Amino acid sequence: MEIANDLPHLIESHQLRTHVNKMPLLSCRFLKSYREQRLAHLVLSFITMGYVWQEGNTQPEEVLPRNLALPLVEVSRNLGLPPILVHSDLVLTNWTKKNAEGPLEIGNLETIISFPGGESLRGFILVTALVETAAVPGIKALVQAVNAILQTSQDTLLQALQQLRLSIEDITRTLGQMHDYVDPDIFYAVIRIFLSGWKDNPAMPVGLIYEGVCTEPLKYSGGSAAQSTVLHAFDALLGVRHSKASADFLYRMRDYMPPSHKAFVEEIHAAPSLRDYVLSCGHGCLLTAYNQCLEALAALRSYHVTVVTKYLITAAAKAKGRRPNPLPRPPQALEFTGTGGTAALSFLKSVRDKTLEAILHPRG
């Protein structure tokens, strides 16, 4: 915790590796509760990212020392998570309220562990956490919709679909707060490297050796919004089918979710088909509500494309044209790539287009 609480300074002063190398070997057997284990995964995975990328993408550390690797792998196995920083660390477990009685608003929230990146990093994490919060009514609506199909209650299903659409629209609005709190240049040049993994990453083509765990390097993807359960679950209910390349990546990202989240998505997917039910029942209002959910989801994905364009493509072009530059040299290996290792824009446009393709047309 001492190292984690001083992480930005230790990374920026190039002292983190020295401190980690002196760290005692910790045992996870003293972690009693689930919350303690999640905190341990958050702390150890943050330190791991800082350790690997302390010197930027030109000199990544290719061996994680045993006093960090062993406890990280042990707590990861206990939680069913991979031994790397994942979305559920960075966002879901990495916030606290300043005033416990106060609202879930960015002014009343603080991050627990940080990287370099200052207010922009804080904004990136907390806006993403608020996006997850905006999804809560939508997640509840999924359960309500599945139960309504099982009970053939068309009125309840209609209410659930209307609630889902409102939740998706709220997610889109909340995502817009990125522009207020996150500087694209700092995100691109400073923050992004610490979210990058060692799979599909030209800076670390062979992966990372976890000392004391195995002698061969292991490959894990970096943090990605595709590790959030929310859109996986929405797609599962609405019956959106993605292209093979996108679907393969999304399916792989489920292994980066907490097991209960992955199980939830699979349960929604295994439920009776909403799409088939809407087609067969001949209820015009249901068809309209179903299509409005898909239109809202496609609009969210289009908006995500504009956000990624600003924070990745435009920021990359600006960084290239700006010399001398007060910011660190951005990670060239990841120029137009998402931190999860995908070609970000083509992936996002593909999932958006497949969402639109799912819209149903009334049988004339």
Q: pLDDT tens digits for 244-268? A: 999 999 999 999 999 999 999 999 9
Q: What does the pLDDT average to over 202-228? A: 94
Give 209's strand partners.
63
The pLDDT value recorded for residue 333 is 47
Confidence at residue 239, expressed as pLDDT on a 0 to 100 scale: 96
Express as a percent the part of the chain with pLDDT over 90. Answer: 80
**Which whole number is the average pLDDT over 199-208?**
91
Q: Comparing C-alpha atoms, which of 122, 120, 56 is closest to residue 91? A: 122
Task: Encode pLDDT of 299-346 as tens digits.
Answer: 999 999 999 888 888 888 887 776 555 555 545 445 445 544 447 788
Domain ranges of the chain: 2-357
Residue 340 confidence (pLDDT): 43
Residue at token pair 């995100």: 187
pLDDT tens, residue by residue, 146-168:
999 999 999 999 999 999 999 99
Say if CB 139 and CB 236 are below 8 A apart. no
For residue 320, the model assigns a pLDDT of 72
Percent of the chain with pLDDT over 70: 94
| CATH number for the domain running over 2-357 | 1.20.58.480
The whole-number pLDDT of residue 342 equals 46
* The Cα angle at residue 150 between residues 145 and 154, in degrees rounded to 5: 60
pTM of the model: 0.92
As a whole number of angstroms, the distance between CA 196 and CA 334 comes to 9
Question: What average pLDDT does this structure show over 285-308?
Answer: 95
Residue 364 has pLDDT above 90, yes or no: no
Average pLDDT value for residue range 191-200:
93
> pLDDT digit string (tens) for 12-56?
999 999 999 999 999 899 999 999 999 999 999 999 999 999 998
